[in-house]
């Protein structure tokens, strides 16, 4: 069996800063031809995107895929809602957790797995302001430690 290659297209760094990611899922995305070509060129963004489950189907809103230059009449609207392909059991599990525990679904990254466009979804709980401050402090501490270590090893 050939190894599946995974080529990252878009990453949502802000999601990991704003939320505690409890669990991740991989979902396919229903796209038309010109959207896939645009994604291949790297013209995709999930910074403002969010996911809703409606009528037993998962939809991603706010995922921006730029218009394909040579697409003319076949181009779709850049911000149209796109259906996510998940198993029914996964959707039921996510719906239950979102209802009971106050979780939300956020897209973490968009990538190619083989020739298919996939979205990594995170089951997330929002961070408070003091949690964000703690993350920033940890990052600064780590950066200072790496800087000190680098300076010490130069002499």
pLDDT tens-place string over residues 44-84: 888 888 888 889 898 999 888 888 777 777 677 778 888 99
Determine the pLDDT at residue 3.
Answer: 61
* pLDDT tens for each residue of 23-34: 889 999 988 888
**Arithmetic mean of pLDDT, 5-12:** 84
**Arithmetic mean of pLDDT, 7-21:** 84
What average pLDDT does the chain have?
83
Give the rounded percent of residues in the chain with a pLDDT score beyond 70.
Answer: 95
Determine the pLDDT at residue 88.
Answer: 92
Count of CB atoms within 10 A of residue 56's CB? 9
Determine the pLDDT at residue 2.
Answer: 55
* pLDDT tens for each residue of 88-135: 999 988 888 888 787 888 999 889 888 888 999 988 887 777 777 888
Confidence of residue 155 (pLDDT cuts 50, 70, 90): low
């Amino acid at each position: 069996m050939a190894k599946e290659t995974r080529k990252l297209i878009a990453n949502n760094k802000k999601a990991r800063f704003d939320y505690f990611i409890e669990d991740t899922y991989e979902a396919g995305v229903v796209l038309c031809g010109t959207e896939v070509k645009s994604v291949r060129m790297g013209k995709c963004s999930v910074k403002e995107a969010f996911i809703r489950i409606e009528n037993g189907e998962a939809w991603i809103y706010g995922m921006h895929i730029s218009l394909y230059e040579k697409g003319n009449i076949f181009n779709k609207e850049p911000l149209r809602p796109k259906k996510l392909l998940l198993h029914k059991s996964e959707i039921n599990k996510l719906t239950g957790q979102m209802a009971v525990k106050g979780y939300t679904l956020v897209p973490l990254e968009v990538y190619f797995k083989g020739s298919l466009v996939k979205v990594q979804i995170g089951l997330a709980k929002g961070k408070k302001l003091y949690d964000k401050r703690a993350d920033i402090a940890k990052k600064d501490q780590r950066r200072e430690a790496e800087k000190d270590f680098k300076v010490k090893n130069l002499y």
